[in-house]
Amino acid sequence: MTNVRVRIPPSPTGLLHIGTVRTALYNFLFAKHEGGTMVFRMEDTDKERSKKEYEEDIINGLVKLGIAGDEGVHIPGSKGFRQSERIEVYTKNLQKLLDENKAYYCFCTKERLDNMREKQREAKLPPRYDGCCKNLSTDEAKKRVEAGEKAVIRLRIPENEDISFKDLVRGETCINCKELDDFVIARAIDNPLYHLTVVVDDHDMGITHVIRGEDHISNTPKQILIFRALGYEVPHFAHLPLILNEDKSKLSKRKNKVSVDDYLAEGYLPEALLNFLALLGWNTPDEQEIFSMDELIEKFTLDRVHKGGAIFDIKKLDWVNGEYIKRAIAENIDEFFETVKPFIKNIPTDDESLIKNILKDPDFEGRFSKLSEVSEVLEPLFSPIPDYPTSLLALDKFQITPAMLKDKVLPKAKEVLSGIDWERGESSKSKVISDGLVAIVGELGLKNGQVLWPIRVALSGLEKSPNFATLAVYLGKEECLKRLDIALEKCK
Ligand code: GLU
């Protein structure tokens, strides 16, 4: 394919939505795969709902994710990529349609239209414009408009014609004009509506492929009619499956976070989010799950986009993110530390190398599915030991008695840990500590659980925590001995 040009045209009526990112990503991947160009424009003609802050959020978000494309609102100094800057162009196109009698002014009042629809409902007919103003003469219409009468502009559509197109995802799609009516394309000559603006923009910007959410599929025949009326070439269309909540309802704020900022703030890595979104409605034949951006570009084709809805599975996102975190830690701990730094809270240490060692420790591998979890894992290693009951230490299940701990296990553990000389945070010491403590089991003729469980509880004060050797390494010798004393006190 030559000269592929695609577009992402969000409306700035809310923060950057996860669905917009998926659409932008598929456009980006398709354009790059085909060696084409992606245009980023802002559909801001809805003056009441459009806000500058939303526009900024959308632009910043797509730029940060690296999928904003090659031309458009995000390029400094660019002009003409906001619909609000193109009103004159739309007016010219509307005038052309009026002059050629392909569109007409409609003076019907709201009351008349409501009345008409009510009657249609009663007669169990679909609500369609009845063509009342369709045959007004151009001169009369012109006079009334000039006299200040309010009028919308409607497209005159063929009466009985099949509008068909081959959707690149969904296949042949056809609708008869009988199912449509002469729809409104502008509220006034200088107040165009979405269907008109989108068609004029797609034509002027040389768009060859319109790739967008399935919620726009019913708009496509209408837009094809406008393309034809204006004598413009109709682009190819590809409609992407809807993103669904787990209960298969349309992705909604009530059931999932929908703003990209929320995901980033929670500690999802941008690359992981993109990887996850790439799989939300597309896959490779071998079901590969983790891709670099270059691989996605190389492998992405529209014929592998799914027709059915794509379920937003947050567990899968957590898994993908966890994989990216694992790789980021292994690849460059210093860089990862900078990324995770803003998420590290309530950790009373400025010892960066200690934290880096913990993050790298194999015992913590796979423990983080989000950056926000790093603090939760680190906190027990730096917080004062919580109070805990003796029964947690002398667990019945393992037939441990306080006496056994007081006389044998805890003094022995103290002896082992006192005898080792180690530097806090040096994970290579973990094996020495582990071997020393495990040896107690044989020495005292007890079971594993009877020795290792109480030591871990004594060191953490928690029912669940990292293993005892890892804990010991990061708590440091002194703190370990102090905690063993607290445990001894509890067994008296
Ligand atoms: N502005 C439209 C939206 O945000 C995009 C329409 C289109 O892709 O044609 O849904």
The hierarchical CATH code for the domain 86-240 is 3.40.50.620
Question: Which numeric CATH code is attached to 5-83+243-311?
Answer: 3.40.50.620
Question: Atom of ligand 1 at shortest distance to CA of 223?
Answer: 9
Is 250 noted as a catalytic residue in this protein?
no
For residue 73, what pLDDT is reported?
A: 98
The reported pLDDT for the residue numbered 348 is 76
Whole-number Å distance, alpha carbon 133 to ligand 1 midpoint, is 30
Residues in the chain: 492
pLDDT of residue 9: 98
Ligand 1: residue of 73, 216, 239 to mutate (most ligand atoms within 8 A of CB) is 216
Quote the CA–CA distance of 313 and 246 in Å, as a whole number. Answer: 7
What is the distance in A from the centroid of ligand 1 to the CA of 355?
Answer: 45
Structure confidence at residue 2 (pLDDT): 63
Residue nearest to atom 2 of ligand 1 (CA): 10
Topology of domain 390-490, per CATH? Arc Repressor Mutant, subunit A (1.10.10)
| Residues whose CB is less than 8 angstroms from the CB of residue 413 and which lie 6 or more positions away in sequence, other chains included | 437, 440, 451, 455, 458, 484
Q: How far is CA 158 from the centre of its chain?
A: 41
User: Alpha-carbon distance 344 to 355, whole Å?
Assistant: 10
Q: Which residues, in sequence order, are CB contacts of 177 under 8 Å at separation 6+?
A: 157, 158, 159, 160, 161, 162, 163, 225
Task: Kindly report the protein residue whose alpha carbon is nearest to atom 8 of ligand 1.
Answer: 212
pLDDT, position 41? 98
Given the residues 142, 250, 253, 345, the one annotated as active site: 253
For residue 25, how far is its CA from the centre of ligand 1 (angstroms)? Answer: 14
Residue ranges of the domains in the chain? 5-83+243-311, 86-240, 332-382, 390-490
Q: How far apart, in Å, do the first and last CA atoms of the chain sit? A: 81
Query: Where are the strands (E) in 33-160, listed by range?
Result: 37-40, 71-72, 103-106, 152-155
**E strand intervals along 45-102:** 71-72
* Nearest alpha carbon to residue 41 among 65, 70, 4: 70
Confidence (pLDDT) at 90 = 98
Q: Which residues of the chain have pLDDT under 70?
A: 1-2
Of all protein residues, the one whose alpha carbon is nearest to atom 6 of ligand 1 is 9
Nearest-CA residue for atom 10 of ligand 1: 10
Would you tell me how many other CB atoms lie within 10 Å of the CB of residue 24?
Answer: 28
User: Cα(64) to centroid of ligand 1, in Å?
Assistant: 21
- Looking from the CA of residue 198, the nearest atom of ligand 1 is 9
What is the distance in A from the centroid of ligand 1 to the CA of 9?
Answer: 5
Give me 464's structure tokens.
């669940």
Enter the DSSP assignment of 341: G
Query: Any residues with Cβ below 6 Å from ligand 1, and which?
Result: 9-11, 43, 198, 212, 216
Sheet of strand 5-8: strand arrangement: 5-8, 37-40, 71-72
The domains spanning 5-83+243-311 and 390-490 adopt the same CATH topology: no
The amino acid at 113:
L
> pLDDT (tens digit, 9 = 90+) per residue, 142-170?
999 999 999 999 999 998 899 999 999 99
Q: Is 391 exposed, middle or buried (0-12, 13-18, 19+ CB in 10 A)?
A: exposed
DSSP three-state, residue 211: strand
pLDDT in tens, 33-82: 999 999 999 999 888 999 999 999 999 999 999 999 999 999 999 999 99
Asked whether the beta carbons of 373 and 474 are under 8 A apart, the reply is no
Helices (H) and strands (E) in the chain, counts: 21, 13
pLDDT at 361: 86
Residue 392 tokens read as: 């947690």
